[in-house]
Amino acid sequence: MSTALRRYPVLIALCVAALFMIVPFLIVALNAFKSPAEYSQNGPLSFPDGFYVDGLKDFWERVDYSQKLFNSLLISGFVAILAVALSVLNAYAIGVGRVRGRTWVLAFFVLANMLPQEALVYPVYYLSKQAGLYDTRLSVIIVFTVIQAAFGTYLLSSVLGEFPREIIEAARIDGANKWQILWRIVVPVSRPTLGVLAVFFFIWTWNEFLLPLVMLISNDNQTVSVALGVLQGQRLMDATMTNAAALLGVLPAIVFFLLFQRTLTRGIAVGAVK
């Protein structure tokens, strides 16, 4: 079988490449339970002797990681829900309602979606100080709800633009008003798409760095990404601490990945081609 002989090299090459991609994760796992002494003696590539968890515990308490996780969950959760709601309202008017000038309205949202945060960060920081919202989780929720909804509006408008008109007409003849049509028909039918959007908004917000870094300066309000990034930037961590930080930062991402893997890969494809 000459084809079989030709087949395996391709598989092996791809497996090696895939392994290279996950090596960093493996190294983090390999060193997660080494004591500082062991690490400095045997280096990062040896198998761990014991099961040393004090380093993790110390780090957890030192950065008050429970609080950081709670902040990240709170901010990302609220943004996911609110941004989907805002996207639905916008897209209902544009895609189903076909409001006049909708092309311009949609262009407005697409443009808002493209603006880099660098061009918003200082005014947002300044205005939030004026409004007394600086260094609050609420300010970050508001800003990201709008930023994510820009993308959501753009995507959902084309999805809802293809919504079967007859269903809506039938409901209207039955005497349903626009609110009822939205909540009882459009939202339930589009639930899969809305679920994909919510997952994406959640993960994107969880991963955000620049704006939360500027907006959240007190320890009690910081997200996981900001707290870990700032610590790393200060260059004050030893190898064991860095390793603990890496592990605690990686774990939530792995959990999301396993939970939402199908949604993620499906969603990316939808979002890119729309």
Partner 1 sequence: MTMTVEKRGVTGKAAPAGRPRRRDSYALFLLPGVLAFLAVIIVPFLMNTYVGFTDWQGVGSPSWTGLANYRELMDDSDFWASFRHSLFMVVAMAAVPTAVGLVLAAALFDYIGKHFGSKVVAVLRACFYLPQVLPIAVAGIVWSWILAPDNGSLNALLKAVGLGSWQQDWLGDPDLALYSVMGVMVWVQIGFPLVVFMAGLQRVDPQLHEAAELDGAGWWRRFWHVTLPQIRPEIYVVLTWCTVAALKVFGAVYVLTKGGPGGATNVPSYFSFTTFFEKTQVGYGAAISTVLTVIILALSLIGLKLQTRAEERA
Give yes or no for residue 7 binding partner 1 (CB under 8 A): yes
Residue selected from 32, 56, 79, 96 as contacting partner 1 according to rule CB under 8 A: 96
Give yes or no for residue 17 binding partner 1 (CB under 8 A): yes
Give yes or no for residue 174 binding partner 1 (CB under 8 A): no
Give yes or no for residue 136 binding partner 1 (CB under 8 A): no
Contact set for partner 1, span 178-237 (CB under 8 A):
178, 182, 203, 206-207, 209-210, 213-214, 224-226, 228-229, 232-233
Residue selected from 57, 122, 138, 219 as contacting partner 1 according to rule CB under 8 A: 122
Our CB check for partner 1 shows the closer of 12 and 53 to be: 12
Give yes or no for residue 156 binding partner 1 (CB under 8 A): no
Q: How far is the CB of 270 from partner 1 (least distance, A)?
A: 8
Contacting range for partner 1; rule: CB under 8 A; set: 16-24, 48-56, 57-65, 190-198 = 16-24
Contact set for partner 1, span 233-272 (CB under 8 A):
233, 239, 242-243, 245-246, 249-250, 253-254, 256-257, 261, 264-265, 268-269, 272
Residue selected from 35, 64, 73, 117 as contacting partner 1 according to rule CB under 8 A: 117
**CB 214 within 8 Å of CB 135:** no
Which one, of 232, 95, 231, 68, lies nearest residue 152 by Cα? 95
Our CB check for partner 1 shows the closer of 67 and 97 to be: 97
